[in-house]
Amino acid sequence: MNISELTPGTGNVEVQGEIVEIEAPREFNKNGRTLRVANATLRDASGTIVLVLWNDDIDKVQAGNNVKISNGYVNVWKDTPQLTLGKFGKLEVV
C-alpha cells in the first residue's frame, strides 16, 4: 500500500517508508501511568503522512530509518490524517 492511498478510517494498513523527521517526545499522565508520544513524518515515493509513535516505539527509530508498518490504521487528529499502530500494529526497522 502507498501512503497516497491512505485515508481516514483505513485499517489493517501495511506500508513501508522512510522516517524523515521525529518531533521531540511529549509526556503525559493517564490513569496514573506516564505515557510518551511523538509524531514522525513517514515518506514513500507517493507522499508523506504523520506517524504517531508511542512509548518504546519512539526509541526504536531515528530520522533516516526505513520502517515497515503492519496492521496500522489511519485516523484524524486536528484535521490531519495520521497513521498509528494502536494495540495490534507493529513497527519494524528494515
CATH topology of domain 3-93: OB fold (Dihydrolipoamide Acetyltransferase, E2P) (2.40.50)
Q: Does 68 have pLDDT greater than 90? A: yes
SS3 assignment, position 10: coil
Record the cell numbers describing residue 3, joined without a space.
501512503
Q: What are the tens digits of pLDDT across the range 40-54?
A: 999 999 999 999 999
The pLDDT value recorded for residue 87 is 85
Question: For the chain, what are the domain ranges?
Answer: 3-93
Beta strands 80-84 and 47-54 are parallel
